[in-house]
Amino acid sequence: MENIPPSPPPLKTADECITYSVDTSSTDSLPERAIFDPILLPPDSYDVNGTYWADLPFSKRVSFVLNYDLGVEGKNEWAEIWAAAKRNPFSPLIQYFKSAVLPGAGLGLEGYVLFSIGNIKPLFQAVWKECWGTHQVCNSAWVNSIEYLEVAGIMVGQILVGIQGDWVGRKWGLVQDALVMFIGLILLTASWGTSLNGWVICYAWCLFIYGIGVGGEYPMTATMSMEKSQGSSIMSSKEDRLHRGRSVTSAFLMQGWGQFFNVVVLMIVLYIANGAWNPPYSEKAVQIAFRVSFAIPAIGTAILVWHRMGLKGTNKELKSQKKKSNITGYDLESLKLTFTYFGGRMFATAGTWFANDVFFYGNKLFQSEFIKVITPNNHSVMEGWKWNLVNVSVSLVGYYLASLLIDNKLYGRKWMQIVGFMFDFLLFIIPAFSYAYFTSREHIHAFQAMYFLSSFFNQFGPNSVTFLVAAEVYPASVRASAHGFGAAVGKLGAVAAAILYSYIDTQTKFYVVPWFGLAGAIMTYVWLPDTTGLDLAEQERRWRYIRQGRGEEYCGVAIHAKHLSVWERWMGIGKQYNPTKDYKMRIEEMRAEWEEKSKEGVTEEGRQEIWTQHIDDYFRKTKEGAVALARQTDDIVPVHQEKSSLAI
């Protein structure tokens, strides 16, 4: 090999400086293995013999996951939380606010507003019956257009801002979304008309504008939350492998809190403005209730705009991947290749999101009819909101449980989505064929339980997973675009539910809707890969091979059968998986990167620094690196023995 730079400087453990005479031309050197094994075979993904966790027999896989994920990592996290809490009792709350609440604030605010539309509709119908009920003074087409224009705005935002986020950058999309939502909320709060019909038209178009900002939140929040813990092309990140799903889902579940607080605010404001819990409700009270309910999130959104303008590092991963592929502007070539190589994934992420939104929005649209079934002869809007609050609370439990288990290698994304879809299917199909039985007074509690459980499994399943995987299974340069496309197709499911529910009665809804759950489970099983435990840096590495026209040369874990869909395995992808060959290829890639930097006129000292960038920093800055190297330094014996399953 030409132009091989000198040997690297000493590597430092947590306790002392140890000098190695590393043979940079051989991958069989034990000292070199002592350096590279902890980096390329991290202990959270490989056992002591160098075997990838997904290659382990089932019993050993269970033991490995329980020992590391729940044992080592779980104990470390709790120890850090406890140590921080002892220094400052509010430290865990502050950390949660920074890692989940702030990244998910946009989704929390949009959840508050979007679902308030359904919450205040019964109030409008109770006070302005001639407009919202009989349509005597309002055009029924415009009244019905409110929901359609809202969804249309969301779809426009999802697609356009998704493309914009991959073109201009994540930060621009984040700031723009918050700004558009702020303008939309100002318009909603001040919406007016010379007649009730004029006000309805104004209200509908204000929702369309607000919806554009909401739509952009989906791809921007998903990509931002996902990429903040991603490692470099060679140096992977434990945080990314073990907690990426939790990071994204923790931000996404703020949507549930938005729904919760909207109901609480509406109940409090209406009670104060009306002076009573039950009807009749005055027009003035309703005006105060819905305008105050929009003014509150407007304040929060203004603060969000200010916060996002100060964000740093949100475009780091996108710029890094574009630089490696020599791309400026929008990566149209990667978009074309995504449809060519990941067409099955596009079908899975978009199709399952469509099926889920029929359930998710159908559940919300059906909510008022469900409440009528369990509370006959009730005419109080407050009573409906009370049951809505119960339903949202059940959903929040599902959100949090999803966040807890979505990164578990024994369950993970794919099984969570399949199980969630199947439970939704069963919980709707059972009462469909025994509707009279379950809606009778003596069995109404069983009907309630099934309805609430369907909300739980929707969050502890497809609603959380679709948001994550629609970005996760694609390369960084088109990640926001792909997520926006999947989310927009999903919103067509919401439109389908709204139209469908307008023409069929309650029992027929139970006959029709469950099959979308079954279809979602089938699509998930056949076409969706399981990226649980897969490092995004490794997925990006595979993508560079594909983009260079060398996809068949890649043989790393990104094409392990565990991380491919059934469809991809049927198509023959993954046959070249070879961990022994890949180990050596990864070392050569590290050398090539180092040599490339050396050719750029870097000084001798600079070349030494570049060599240790991926190695020395690893041991300095991570507990795993320091411990792993310390265990190997006494006799220069690697953790992964010579009889390693990699047979190096």
Render pLDDT for 326-340 as a digit per residue (tens, 0 to 9): 777 787 888 899 999
Answer yes or no: is pLDDT of 642 > 60.
Answer: no
**CB-based burial, 57-75: b 16+ in 10 Å, e otherwise:** eeeebeebbeebbeeebee
| pTM: predicted TM-score of the whole model, two decimal places | 0.85
**Six token digits for residue 451:** 């309805």
Strand partners, 11: 18
Answer yes or no: is pLDDT of 198 > 90.
Answer: yes
Bond from prior residue into 31 cis (ω within 30 degrees of 0) = no
Q: State the pLDDT at residue 2.
A: 40
Q: State the pLDDT at residue 593.
A: 74
Q: Classify 457 as helix, strand or coil.
A: helix
Helix axes 343-374, 444-458, angle to 10 degrees: 150
| Average model confidence (pLDDT) across the chain | 83
pLDDT interval class at 435 (50, 70, 90):
confident
Q: State the pLDDT at residue 31.
A: 59
Lowest-confidence pick of 169-178, 370-379, 408-417, 564-573 = 370-379
Q: What is the DSSP letter of 578?
A: -
202 vs 14: which has the higher pLDDT: 202
Q: State the pLDDT at residue 646.
A: 36
CA distance 565 to 254: 30
**How many CB atoms are located within 10 Å of the residue 587 CB?**
21
Average pLDDT value for residue range 265-278: 90
CA distance 154 to 520: 22
Strand partners, 46: 52
Answer yes or no: is pLDDT of 130 > 80.
Answer: yes
CA distance 193 to 211: 21
Average pLDDT value for residue range 162-182: 89
Q: Classify 169 as helix, strand or coil.
A: coil
User: Among 642, 616, 647, which residue's Cα sits nearest to residue 629?
Assistant: 616
Average pLDDT value for residue range 543-571: 94
Q: State the pLDDT at residue 178.
A: 92
Percent share of the chain, pLDDT over 70:
83
Average pLDDT value for residue range 122-136: 89
pLDDT interval class at 515 (50, 70, 90):
very high
CA distance 471 to 173: 15
Average pLDDT value for residue range 225-236: 61
**Six token digits for residue 410:** 């024994």
The stretches of 168-237 forming alpha helices (DSSP H) are: 170-190, 196-227
Lowest-confidence pick of 53-67, 530-544, 590-604 = 590-604
Return the amino acid letter for 374.
I
Q: Classify 220 as helix, strand or coil.
A: helix
Q: State the pLDDT at residue 68.
A: 92
**CB-based burial, 168-189: b 16+ in 10 Å, e otherwise:** bbbbbbbbbbbbbbbbbbbbbb
pLDDT interval class at 32 (50, 70, 90):
low
Q: State the pLDDT at residue 5.
A: 40
Answer yes or no: is pLDDT of 314 > 80.
Answer: no
Answer yes or no: is pLDDT of 611 > 80.
Answer: no
**Tens of pLDDT, residues 346-368:** 999 999 999 999 888 766 656 66
Answer yes or no: is pLDDT of 325 > 90.
Answer: no
CA distance 84 to 202: 50
Q: In whole angstroms, how far apart are CA 180 and each of 293, 481, 536? A: 18, 19, 31
The position carrying tokens 């000493």 is: 10
**Six token digits for residue 360:** 């998710």
pLDDT interval class at 17 (50, 70, 90):
very low
Average pLDDT value for residue range 66-73: 90
CB 522 within 8 A of CB 509: no
Average pLDDT value for residue range 104-133: 88
pLDDT interval class at 288 (50, 70, 90):
very high
Q: In whole angstroms, how far apart are CA 469 and each of 121, 165, 463, 473? A: 33, 17, 11, 6
263 vs 606: which has the higher pLDDT: 263
Identify the architecture of domain 101-527 in CATH.
Answer: Up-down Bundle (1.20)
Average pLDDT value for residue range 502-515: 83
CB 586 within 8 A of CB 566: no
pLDDT interval class at 6 (50, 70, 90):
very low
Q: In whole angstroms, how far apart are CA 320 and each of 216, 324, 338? A: 23, 6, 19
Average pLDDT value for residue range 629-633: 45
Give the highest mean pLDDT range of 2-11, 429-438, 441-450, 523-532.
Answer: 523-532
Q: State the pLDDT at residue 236.
A: 59
pLDDT interval class at 70 (50, 70, 90):
confident
pLDDT interval class at 612 (50, 70, 90):
low
**Tens of pLDDT, residues 456-477:** 999 999 999 999 999 999 998 8
pLDDT interval class at 8 (50, 70, 90):
very low
Answer yes or no: is pLDDT of 452 > 60.
Answer: yes
The position carrying tokens 């996809």 is: 551
pLDDT interval class at 632 (50, 70, 90):
very low
Q: State the pLDDT at residue 590.
A: 80
Q: How far apart are the first and last CA of the chain?
A: 20
Lowest-confidence pick of 115-119, 176-180, 263-267, 399-403 = 115-119
Lowest-confidence pick of 36-40, 260-264, 277-281 = 36-40
**Could you tell me which residues come within 8 angstroms of residue 347 by beta carbon, excluding any fewer than 6 positions away?**
523, 527
CA distance 511 to 501: 12
pLDDT interval class at 30 (50, 70, 90):
low
**Six token digits for residue 274:** 């009306």
CA distance 466 to 490: 9
Lowest-confidence pick of 117-126, 359-368, 434-443 = 359-368
Q: Classify 17 as helix, strand or coil.
A: strand
CA distance 588 to 591: 5
Q: State the pLDDT at residue 529.
A: 96
pLDDT interval class at 172 (50, 70, 90):
confident
> Using DSSP, how many helices (H) and how many strands (E) does the chain show?
28, 2
Q: State the pLDDT at residue 201.
A: 94
589 vs 246: which has the higher pLDDT: 246
pLDDT interval class at 641 (50, 70, 90):
very low
Answer yes or no: is pLDDT of 147 > 90.
Answer: no
Answer yes or no: is pLDDT of 93 > 50.
Answer: yes
Q: State the pLDDT at residue 364.
A: 65
